Structure 1
Amino acid sequence: MPTKKSLVAASIALPLALLLGGCASGSADAGSSADANETVKIGVVGAGDPYWETYKDAAAAEGIDVELVDFSEYTQPNPALSAGELDLNQFQHIIYLATYNVNSGDDLVPVGATAIYPLGLYSAKYDDVADIPEGSTVAVPNDESNQARGLLVLQSADLIELEDGGSIFSTVADVLPSSKVKVEALDAAFTATSLPDVAAAIINNDFVEDAGLKPEDAIAQDDPSDPNALPYVNIFAARADQADNPTYKKLVELYQNTQSVLDGVQDASGGTAVFVKTPVKDLQTSLEAVQDDIKANS
């Protein structure tokens, strides 16, 4: 992920079509420990980001040779992992993985959390979400992934109420009449340019900088501690039979606890990353719930 836009893309996109593709290794024995010079192949999208070299150095110091396998498309790393050509991949959030598993009949699993890239609410008129007047209009992106996520942000900010509490499939049609504001769905590229005409707008991370804004300008965003945000946490993924591999657990810990790696990720993300150490059990529970939701809505 050489740019901020490519880094956050997988943390935003929700593909609902069958994901296909493939490329590159065998995995370590689940019962083994991190033997000296053990090689682990990790699939990523954007291996050119400098923090990956920092990460490889940290792993080497622990006796693990990390070989990065770079992919140009987000559709490729999961099939490659499933085929045994990778040991791990790290590029997606839980919703993306759940969609892949349901559509492919696979059972890839999360083995560790990395970060969430919050989706923000911005305003040219108000510095505090509490100041947004009742009955005013707020814009959200009209694509199904960002629309649902944006609506959940608005609900967390007490601006709207969603039918049945909302879900990853919520649309503006699910906004209850009792809500404080009205919601208008616009093309994601136009929510930023709508700011002069609306009280506030959910702006996709790809368009924040282009609009002359900074992530810290957001007056509301996903709360990583909110259960509704959990499906958007980015993860390391492995095959189900390798879920307890101690070497993979060590690699997750290195990512989560090596400050120079975290600094590099933050720099590559344009300051949008919020690092999390969500327990794997909670990640798995969220994955199963999202998969159930996808099946129920398909």
Structure 2
Amino acid sequence: MSTDNNPDAEPALPEKPGRSKGFFIGIGVAAVAVVVAVVLVIVNVTGSSTTAGQTTVRIGVTDAGADHWKTFTELAGEDGINVELVSFNDYTQANPALSQRQLDLNQFQHILFLANYNVSNNDTLTPIASTYVVPLSLYSRKHSAVADIPAGGTVAIPNDPTNQARALLVLQSAGLITLRGGGTVLSTPAEIDEEASTVEVTPVDASQTVAALPSVDAAIVNNNFALDAELDPSQALFNDDPASAEAEPYINAFVSRAEDKDNPTYLRLAQLYRDPRVRSQVEAQSKNTAVLVDRPQSELEDILARLEETVRTAQQ
């Protein structure tokens, strides 16, 4: 997904979207609000172009410094494609930038995140190629096992809708909370059965979950933030299974505007991402936690359509 603004204060638990439209529309407004900042960073970026026999493609990412992107851009250059990486420091910016043609592609998000964005913003961005699934993990600086987390302890989780719901499902699988009705990919803390749960949950910005670790018993940390903070995935107290069928909504993907989904240059770039030299670096960067996924474009579109319907139903 994959993508990020950094309040230090712990926000109050959000109300259950109840399933209310305001919850989703609010996300859309936030996304639009940051576009101004994005334009300042990538001014004069209006789409792919051709110069001196090379086609330039601008790709929005949140990990531009990763080794695999250097290899990827070198391979693309050998194919006559000049890749320009546009770096974003949070998860809300890259989709509006793509929609407004300041980018040609982005690669930072999973399909559920995209589904929520599309429905919230009445957009039609689409996945053109799968990349990988990474686990979502529970870390602690105070405890060495889930069983050590005391009753009444506090766990920080990401506060963006899709990662928040996934985090709640992870905590439920770990036996720390119980969600009424078993939970869904859109669950919120308001669905926690407090009497059947042993910990309290505090949502914070995803980028602040690592910073929260000294002041909470544990935190659910997205893989990119965990690796940036040099947390060892093998030391996580618990994580979901990125290879399971339940991980399908969390498949990360290259995303384009709907009208560009069959663009041969963009599809070629997606193929280059599967080059063994790139894939090996992606795996190494994730400390071998990433599960690489090769799903046909049509299947990705079907997954997106199902998830968008789930989001729309939740709005009603």
TM-score (ref. length: structure 2): 0.68
Find 1:255's aligned residue among 253, 267, 273: 273
Distance 1:80 1:66 in 2: 19
State the partner residue of 2:259: 241
Q: CA deviation at 1:65?
A: 0.9
Render the CA deviation track for 1:53-87: whole Å, top value 9, x for unaligned.
311111233x2413214144554433343344533
CA contact under 8 A between 1:52 and 1:261: conserved in structure 2? Answer: no
Provide Cα deviations, 1:10-45, integer angstroms capped at 9, x if missing partner: 4xxx982332325525569xxxxxxx8444333334
Counterpart residue number, 1:194: 216
**Does the alignment pair 1:16 with 2:32?**
no
| Paired residues for 1:155-174 under 5 Å | 155-157=172-174, 160-174=177-191
Distance 1:47 1:60 in 2: 17
Query: Which of residues 170, 190, 200 in structure 2 aligns to 1:184?
Result: 200
Residue type at the aligned position of 1:16: I
Q: Which residue matches 1:219?
A: 237
Tell me which amino acid in the other structure corresponds to 1:92: Q
**What are structure 1's unaligned runs of at least 5 residues?**
1-6, 29-35
Give 1:263 shift.
Answer: 1.3
Q: Distance in 2 between matches of 1:210 and 1:111?
A: 27
Count of residues paired in the alignment: 272
In the alignment, which residue of structure 2 is the partner of 1:229? 247
What is the distance in 2 between the residues matched to 1:246 and 1:164? 45
Q: TM-score, normalised by structure 1?
A: 0.71
Note the C-alpha offset of 1:96: 3.2
- Per the alignment, residue 276 of structure 1 pairs with 292
Q: What SS class does the counterpart of residue 58 from structure 2 fall into?
A: strand
RMSD: 3.8
For 2:215, what is the secondary structure of its paired residue?
Answer: coil
In structure 2, do the counterparts of structure 1 residues 192 and 256 end up closer, same or farther at CA, with 3 Å as the change threshold? farther
Paired residue for 2:13? none
Identify if the C-alpha distance between structure 1 residues 67 and 164 changes in structure 2 by more than 3 Å, giving closer, same or farther: same
Output the CA distance in 2 between the equivalents of 1:174 and 1:291.
21
Distance of aligned partners of 1:16 and 1:231 in 2 relative to their CA distance in 1, 3 Å threshold: farther
| CA distance 1:137–1:211, change in 2 (3 Å) | farther
Secondary structure at 2:220's aligned position in 1? strand
Conserved 8 A contact 1:118-1:272? no
Which structure dedicates a bigger proportion of its chain to helix?
A: 2
Aligned residues of 2:58 and 2:83 also touching (Cα < 8 A): yes
Find the partner of 2:77 among 36, 60, 66.
Answer: 60
Distance 2:62 2:3 in 1: 10
Counterpart of 2:301 in structure 1: which amino acid? Q
Query: What residue number does 2:12 align with?
Result: none
Q: What is the alpha-carbon distance in structure 2 between the residues aligned to residue 138 and residue 244 of structure 1? A: 47
Question: Could you tell me whether the CA contact under 8 Å between 2:158 and 2:220 is conserved in 1?
Answer: no
Cα distance in 1 between the residues matched to 2:225 and 2:81: 37
> 2:2, 2:108 within 8 Å by CA — same for their partners in 1?
no
Q: CA deviation at 1:265?
A: 7.2
Contact 1:108/1:240 (CA < 8 Å) preserved in 2?
A: yes
Q: How far has the Cα of 1:239 moved from its partner?
A: 1.7
| Structure 1 residue 274: Cα displacement | 0.8
Asked whether the 8 Å contact 1:27–1:84 carries over to 2, the reply is no
Aligned to 1:43, the other structure's residue is in SS state strand
Inter-CA distance 264–247: structure 2 relative to 1 (3 Å threshold):
same
Q: Tell me the secondary structure at the aligned position of residue 16 of structure 1.
A: helix
For structure 1, which segment, 258-267 or 230-239, has the greater mean C-alpha deviation from structure 2 after superposition?
258-267
Contact 1:191–1:202 (CA<8 Å) still a contact in 2?
A: no
CA distance 1:161–1:281, shift in 2 (3 Å): farther
Tell me, in whole angstroms, the C-alpha distance in 2 between the residues paired with 1:220 and 1:136: 19
1:228, 1:216 → 2: CA distance?
A: 21
* Aligned partner letter, 1:17: G
Determine the structure 2 residue equivalent to 1:106.
Answer: 123
Q: Secondary structure at the match of 1:244?
A: coil
Letter of the 2:71 counterpart: T
The one-letter code matched in structure 1 to 2:107 is Q
